[in-house]
């Protein structure tokens, strides 16, 4: 497994491996079993003759003022072992100064999908996501890229980024990997206190209750939002709901008569820790 720390080495690796299918998994490190599932999926897509590339980079551009950039866990040694054990061929772990010149003046601003939900709560976050994903796609020169669907809005925005900027990259969305009690795996779960950790699975419980209501004919978004809100407030009294969105899975806007796939996406604070989750309804 190659561990690469700068752009020059990365371009050399890409040149040497030109012609082999490259499947890319971008991460911010602090890897867990959810990331391992993404790397294994990439390995399967790449096949025996392809390459799996993983980036490990805590992107400062997607953290807002007062967010957890400085304390975000950085566990590179453990991360490299997980990547190696799950079939990665190359790790790109640059420093911020290698990717962002001090006088950088070009930004990518998505004007539709990023204005809602997490974008409304975290201004500028998705500009940072678009910037780093575009740079990494350009540098890694991948054929495919694998993302988890836990951050549903992020995946939708990257899908739009690929379409609008004509990246020749096939995107693969992988289902959320969960703890035994249903909590979506996240690098931020380690921030939770023992009491908050006991309450956190209520997010999944509430989403499943909404899915059951949907199956029984409930189609009113307000009804579904109230159901989720009440259940989380009852089962996680220490939490604070940021938003509960019932949206078109493709546009992320309000559902309409033409909506074919609905997603319920939620963001909830436990103390200062913000967790997200979602569920698709067909």
- Residue 228 dihedral angles phi and psi, to the nearest 5°: -65, -45
DSSP, res 185: P
Tell me the CA distances in angstroms from 132 to 123, 249, 259, one per residue in order: 16, 24, 31
Q: Does 117 participate in catalysis according to the annotation?
A: no
User: 58-67 burial, b if ≥16 CB within 10 A, otherwise e?
Assistant: bbebbbeeee
Helix (H, G, I), strand (E, B) or coil at 278: strand
Longest dimension (CA), the chain: 57
Residue 280's beta-bridge partner residues?
263
Q: How many residues does the chain have?
A: 282
Report the distance separating Cα 21 and Cα 87, nearest Å: 14
| CA–CA separation, 2 and 83 (whole Å) | 11
- Please report the beta strands in 41-176, taking only residues with DSSP state E, as ranges in sequence order: 51-56, 90-92, 144-148, 170-174
| Residue 163 burial (CB count, 10 A) | 10
Pairing of strands 170-174, 144-148: parallel
Point out the catalytic residue in the list 35, 117, 125, 250.
35
Which residues belong to the active site?
35
């Amino acid at each position: 497994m190659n561990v690469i720390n700068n752009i020059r080495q990365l371009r050399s690796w890409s040149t040497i491996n030109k012609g082999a299918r490259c499947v890319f998994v971008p991460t911010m490190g602090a890897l867990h079993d959810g990331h391992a599932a993404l790397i294994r999926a990439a390995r399967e897509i790449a096949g025996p003759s392809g390459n799996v590339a993983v980036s490990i980079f805590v992107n400062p551009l997607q953290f807002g003022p007062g967010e957890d950039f400085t304390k975000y866990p950085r566990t590179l040694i453990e991360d490299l072992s997980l990547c190696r054990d799950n079939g990665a061929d190359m790790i790109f772990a640059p420093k911020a100064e290698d990717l962002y010149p001090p006088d950088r003046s070009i930004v990518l601003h998505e004007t539709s999908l990023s204005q809602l939900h997490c974008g409304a709560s975290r201004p500028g976050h998705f500009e940072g996501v678009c910037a780093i994903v575009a740079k990494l796609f350009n540098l890694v020169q991948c054929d495919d890229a694998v993302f988890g669907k836990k951050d549903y809005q992020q995946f939708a925005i990257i899908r739009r980024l690929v379409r609008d900027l004509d990246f020749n990259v096939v995107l693969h969305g992988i289902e959320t990997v969960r703890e035994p009690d249903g909590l979506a795996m996240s690098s931020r779960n380690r921030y939770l206190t023992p009491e908050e950790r006991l309450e956190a699975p209520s997010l999944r419980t509430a989403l499943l209750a909404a899915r059951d209501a949907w199956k029984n004919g409930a189609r009113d978004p307000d009804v579904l939002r109230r159901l989720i809100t009440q259940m989380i407030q009852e089962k996680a009294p220490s939490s604070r709901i940021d938003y509960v969105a019932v949206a078109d899975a493709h546009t992320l806007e309000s559902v309409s008569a033409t909506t074919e796939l609905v997603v319920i996406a939620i963001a909830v604070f436990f103390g200062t820790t913000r967790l997200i989750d979602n569920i698709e309804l067909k």
